[in-house]
Structure 1
Amino acid sequence: MTAPDRDRSARRKVLRTLLDSGALAPDWVPSFEAVPRSAFLPDLMWPFGMDTGTSISVSRSDDSDTWYEYADADVPVVTQWDDGAHAGTEPGRLSTSSASMPSVVARMLRDLDVRPGARVLEIGTGTGWNAALLSHRLGAANVVTVEVDAVVAEAARARLAAVGLHPEVVIGDGLLGHPDGAPYDRIIATVGIRDLPYAWVQQVRPGGLIVAPWGTRYSNVDCVVRLVVAEDGQSASGTFTGAVEFMKARSQRYRVDQAAYLPHGFPGGAVTTVTNLTAADLGLDDRLRHPFAAVSGLLAGGCTLLADRRGPAVSAWLYSLTDLSWAAAVLTDGQAESTVYESGPRRLWGELSRAHQWWVEAGRPDPTCFGLTVTADTTAAWFHASGNALPLPLSEHGGSSGKPVRISRG
């Protein structure tokens, strides 16, 4: 069987699976059939192994069968490392552009709920595949896509043209939107956001939708939020539809400087306590599927978690975003209690423990039980089950707009 023949067969199988699962809405099937992801992937790419947790290099010119197998699989594919500074065939340090899993693309387009003639602004062109699907469905004249990386944008423009689609491809900062084409009926972001820009709200018609992967600096987990712009155009509000993980907007990436927290090394005068929380309780091994891991950034506010598993033990570190407080524990599988080290005015592990207790008492809610409201001054996350107040105020700092983020009862 030739690669193109298998390409068609494998795509049909994936599309049927997505349709049967409900990820792919029936009205999107013609576009997914007409616009293959393989047309937007480079000769050398790095599929991500969902089982192994690592990326591998695959070249179409060296092994077309394997290349098409991954191009059609429901896996993410890295197409750029280290903002384009990477060279060679081995994976780089930081993945900075990719083609998302077809199931994630399908679910977000389903959430976008487009209608014929709708004008859509896409934030994060990437390979151009998502813009191609939108262009096929709505007409290229109704699609504007913004990409911060000029090299990535030009490659996407060429691939779009090769399949006969010509949406407007803008090179610029997608966090600013694209006011020249406003107002839009829909905005969809294909990049992880930590501070949702109010400019997007301003550029969408009242009653229009914004679909974006949003999260806190607690972890890399994002939750897709589906916001409806209010009739007065001054705010947008809506619920989360599920957990995902996207590459973060370049200006909103965050890295911990551990030396600033522990200038004299570990344990640095920390106090010790004991915890009965386990890695399984916190979902540290499966953050996208574990409901607490997916929502813990909403509940344990103003901190970042870094975790690393080695054999039966997970090292978990919490770093405050508001001061130099930190906490650390080694959580060993099968061990009922673990020692916790904490330093600084905040007792971060205690905050995390109270957040987990609240979550258990609230019925272990998943992301769909929470939502977000964005105004010019504030981004507020909320829990929609009445009678359940969230345990901690969430205060994020250093976002692109500087707006405070707070947690409240919905």
Structure 2
Amino acid sequence: MTDEPGIEAPAAELRRQLAGTLEKDGRLRSPEWHAAVEAVPRHAFVPRFYRQSDAPGVTTWEPVTPETVGQEEWLRLVYSDETWVTQFDGRDIDWTDPRPISNAVPTSSSTLPSLVVRMLEDLDVHEGMNVLEIGTGTGYSTALMCHRLGSEAVTSIETDEGVARRACEALAQSGHTPHLLVGDGRVGHLDRAPYDRLIATCGFRNIPPAWLEQVTPGGVILTTLRGWMRSLGLVKLIVTGDSASGWFSEDDPSFMIARQQDAPESLGMVPGADDGTKRKAAYGPDVLTSSGPAFMAQLAAPDARFFSMPVDGGPHGTFVLDSVTDSFAVLAPMGSGWQVRQGGPRRLWDAVESAVATWEEYGSPSTAAFGVTVSRDGQAVWLGNPNGPQWTLPS
């Protein structure tokens, strides 16, 4: 693709424009990463991709290739600050005859460059450091690190064989030869440890213990924590021996969850109409979708998911189901408010309401007010300081 006549000159100009825009927006702060963005050809890593259609109805994704939209438009889209989907439902795409895709879940993508470089800047790398990347994806961020540190300093793990193969080919095409592995990123790669920095480009429900063992004391772990309902956010941890601690960022980036930690297919047992005990709810289901309260709901009910459907033949209600403990909460309209019906070992809505009330008591802060402590004894998110209110991460 990159050898086609007429591509390299406009691609180089688009990279310069992209780097300039990212620098102006405060994402690119160092000359080293600026040079990497200008040098690494993103079009080699996303030669074909899907974008979401804006047509009403069922969510549909449209293929984007030089053939479908024209070379100039394809190149412009490649170098725009957008995330482009490259795989659905864990299956390779037949690019010999690309067609629109509906009712599918994206499982691999090229993350928008502004988030990629923001994370790389936050990683705070220096020459001579050894870096482990969890989630090679298309290989674009891997190539940026190779340009910055040299290929020998970069190890990257991808769980999907097809995705890993394409990334390897694109990296080689671009002149980079990092250490690439196919496997479970949670176990890291002991053979090339210790690492000075670890960066994960997929979301995790907790910090894998192997990461603590393989990152050197004083080193950095940068990853997104997330649950089955939503992302919690980007957290930067400093490792101190067999523990680590740090803070969430102000932003709330969301990455696809690591496949080994994806939610089970079954949402759990839907309760019968007479199951559980009822009370008036202090909060309605909107807390599950509002930014700050939803962050708290995810902390309070880490194994739960929710959906809406008619309740007892009446209006739509919201079901919150915990597939691990078989606990449930069902919210239904009641006058001008809501009624909740709960059952199972955990009172899910009690926990959610308590967490949201604590958040409000502390002034409804952003995610930057929360931190994480990880040790052999457990993992917890805390508010304000390690001695403040805490919520345990799932094991």
Equivalent-residue separation in structure 1 for 2:379 and 2:386 (angstroms):
20
C-alpha offsets along residues 78-115 of structure 1, whole Å, 9 cap, x if unaligned? 11112126655333622211111112112211110001
Equivalent-residue separation in structure 2 for 1:306 and 1:353 (angstroms):
15
TM-score, structure 2 length as denominator?
0.85
Q: In the alignment, is residue 76 of structure 1 matched against residue 83 of structure 2?
A: yes
Shift of 1:3: 6.8
Match of 2:260 in 1: 251
Match of 1:272 in 2: 278
Amino acid at match of 1:30: A
Amino acid at match of 1:95: P
Distance 1:182 1:227, change over 3 A: same
Match of 1:407 in 2: none
Equivalent-residue separation in structure 2 for 1:31 and 1:188 (angstroms):
17
Distance 1:275 1:102, change over 3 A: same
Match of 1:131 in 2: 142
Shift of 1:356: 1.1
Shift of 1:30: 0.7
Amino acid at match of 1:143: V
Match of 1:296 in 2: 297
User: Residue 212 of structure 2 contacts residue 242 of structure 2 at CA under 8 Å; is this kept in 1?
Assistant: yes
Residue number among 265, 269, 286 corresponding to 1:261 in the alignment? 269
Equivalent-residue separation in structure 1 for 2:309 and 2:30 (angstroms):
41
Match of 1:157 in 2: 168
Shift of 1:324: 1.4
Amino acid at match of 2:256: M
Amino acid at match of 1:240: F
Equivalent-residue separation in structure 2 for 1:153 and 1:368 (angstroms):
34
TM-score, structure 1 length as denominator?
0.82
Q: In the alignment, is residue 122 of structure 1 matched against residue 120 of structure 2?
A: no
Equivalent-residue separation in structure 2 for 1:184 and 1:345 (angstroms):
41
Match of 1:106 in 2: 117
Shift of 1:261: 1.8
C-alpha offsets along residues 339-377 of structure 1, whole Å, 9 cap, x if unaligned? 333233433222212211111111112221111122234
Residue number among 40, 61, 76 corresponding to 2:67 in the alignment? 61
User: Residue 327 of structure 1 contacts residue 349 of structure 1 at CA under 8 Å; is this kept in 2?
Assistant: yes
Number of equivalenced pairs: 377
Match of 1:144 in 2: 155
> Which stretch of structure 1 is more off in the superposition, 9-18 or 150-159?
9-18
Query: Residue 247 of structure 2 aligns to a residue in which SS?
Result: strand
Match of 1:406 in 2: none
User: Residue 274 of structure 1 contacts residue 340 of structure 1 at CA under 8 Å; is this kept in 2?
Assistant: yes
Match of 1:90 in 2: 100
C-alpha offsets along residues 159-203 of structure 1, whole Å, 9 cap, x if unaligned? 011111111111222211111111111111111111321111111
Residue number among 167, 173, 189 corresponding to 2:200 in the alignment? 189
Match of 2:384 in 1: 384
Distance 1:154 1:302, change over 3 A: closer
Q: Which ranges in structure 1 are unaligned for 5 or more consecutive residues?
A: 397-402, 404-410
User: Residue 203 of structure 2 contacts residue 255 of structure 2 at CA under 8 Å; is this kept in 1?
Assistant: yes
C-alpha offsets along residues 255-314 of structure 1, whole Å, 9 cap, x if unaligned? 3624x422xx6535344333353555x261xx6xx233234322x14441324699xx98
Shift of 1:73: 2.3
Amino acid at match of 1:269: D
> Which stretch of structure 1 is more off in the superposition, 179-188 or 85-94?
85-94
Q: Which ranges in structure 2 are unaligned for 5 or more consecutive residues?
A: 1-5
